[in-house]
Amino acid sequence: MAEKKSYNEYLAMLADEEQSLSKRIIKQFSNLESEQQAQFEQAWGTFSVERRREIAEALVEYAEEQVEEDFNPLFLYMLRDPDAKVRVIALEGLWEYEEHNMLRMLIPLMESDPSEEVREKATISMSRFALLAELGKLPSRWNKNVHDSLMTQFQKKTNSLEVRRRALEALGYFSQDEQVRQFIAEAYQSDDELFKSSALAAMGRTVDKRWLPEIGQELSNESPALRYEAVRAAGEQSSTELLTPLLRLTRDHDPEVRLAAIWALGQVGGQEATRTLKVLAESESTTIREAAKEALAEIVFSQNPLNVIDY
């Protein structure tokens, strides 16, 4: 039986660039105690940039496979890494992190990071905090900070299109703000397809029925990208008014649109959506089958959260 290695030995393996990063090694850095975290941080600065990127990517990959593992303190520390790629990977690792302490780093990253990619990823991450703010799940002092920082980034004309449109998507959660509604309407009229797609995403997030005509119109757009965003928006709205075109789009020629339509049916629910999803759950395509089963489970859960049935 192999002798159990110490934490310091595993830390030395991280430093050794000839050492492959096996799952056994990566697992040792989950749920670290404060002293171990401090040791990791001290060692991190001695690693080459290539090794830091490799480690960060391995941590993200393992965290996606083993959701019970917690590498969040490591990812939070990596947000201060001098390498932009490491900061981007760290943001990906924190995709579901919802503790408001992250905002102290996230807002500055969005506003002033020297890397455009980091600013864009940080703005995307702000979306979940915008939702938390709208739901009253953030400390009240943070609500205004989240809203105002996103408004500033959207209105800042020197920002890249990517940052501005991601800010608009996040602002969609502030559904009672009349200025946000105006921004969405203006972006929807844009000749830029990416900006228009972000307007559709924001429309969905408002859960405001006033946008149903625009969303419904784009469900027939020739552009697969705009159809996709319209389908997602229809799902976010959970409105039966758009059920008929959503049913049709489960047969769309674009595979991403088809999958989005299946997801949207799970959000809308009802007998007709359920019947269609049951048929799709018998599809020859594994991808379609699994998507339909997940959508059916969503319908069941929404009807009775305490008694989820497996299809």
- CATH number of the domain at 236, please: 1.25.10.10
- Domain match, 185 and 217 both: no
Identify the pLDDT of residue 310: 54
Residue with tokens 């307007």: 199
Of 159, 189, 219, the residue at which a domain comes to its end is: 189
Considering the domain boundaries, does residue 266 fall inside one?
A: yes
Q: In the predicted model, is pLDDT for residue 75 greater than 60? A: yes
Q: Which of 130, 131, 110, 129 has its CA nearest to residue 121?
A: 110
- Domain match, 135 and 177 both: yes
Q: In the predicted model, is pLDDT for residue 223 greater than 70? A: yes
What percentage of the chain exceeds 90 in pLDDT?
94
Contact criterion met (CB below 8 Å) for 89 and 78: yes
- Domain match, 117 and 172 both: yes
What's the whole-number mean pLDDT along residues 95-112?
96
Identify the pLDDT of residue 1: 42
Considering the domain boundaries, does residue 234 fall inside one?
A: yes
Q: In the predicted model, is pLDDT for residue 221 greater than 60? A: yes
Considering the domain boundaries, does residue 251 fall inside one?
A: yes
Q: In the predicted model, is pLDDT for residue 311 greater than 50? A: no
- Domain match, 122 and 166 both: yes
Of 125, 159, 189, the residue at which a domain comes to its end is: 189
Of 138, 158, 189, the residue at which a domain comes to its end is: 189
Considering the domain boundaries, does residue 52 fall inside one?
A: no
What's the whole-number mean pLDDT along residues 260-285?
98
Pick the more confident residue, 306 or 15.
15
- Which residue intervals of the chain are DSSP H helices? 7-15, 23-27, 34-44, 49-65, 72-78, 84-93, 103-112, 116-134, 140-155, 161-171, 178-188, 193-206, 212-218, 224-237, 243-249, 255-268, 271-280, 286-303
- Domain match, 180 and 121 both: yes
* Domain range enclosing 282: 207-311
Residues 167 and 169: their CA atoms lie apart, in Å, by: 5
Give the confidence band of 4 by pLDDT, cuts at 50, 70, 90.
confident
CA distances from 283 to 62, 162, 276 (A): 31, 37, 11
Q: In the predicted model, is pLDDT for residue 6 greater than 60? A: yes
Considering the domain boundaries, does residue 195 fall inside one?
A: no
- Domain match, 163 and 215 both: no
Residue 274, both tokens = 């359920």
- Domain match, 181 and 242 both: no
Which residue type is seen at 111? Answer: E
Residue 124 CB contacts under 8 Å (≥ 6 apart), including other chains: 166, 169, 170
The average confidence (pLDDT) of the chain is 95
Q: pLDDT for 125-145, tens place per residue?
A: 999 999 999 999 999 889 999
Q: pLDDT for 32-69, tens place per residue?
A: 999 999 999 999 999 999 999 999 999 999 999 999 99
Considering the domain boundaries, does residue 62 fall inside one?
A: no
Q: In the predicted model, is pLDDT for residue 192 greater than 90? A: yes
Q: In the predicted model, is pLDDT for residue 306 greater than 70? A: no
Q: How many domains does the chain have?
A: 2
What's the whole-number mean pLDDT along residues 170-197?
97
Give the confidence band of 2 by pLDDT, cuts at 50, 70, 90.
low
Residues 296 and 158: their CA atoms lie apart, in Å, by: 45
Give the confidence band of 3 by pLDDT, cuts at 50, 70, 90.
low
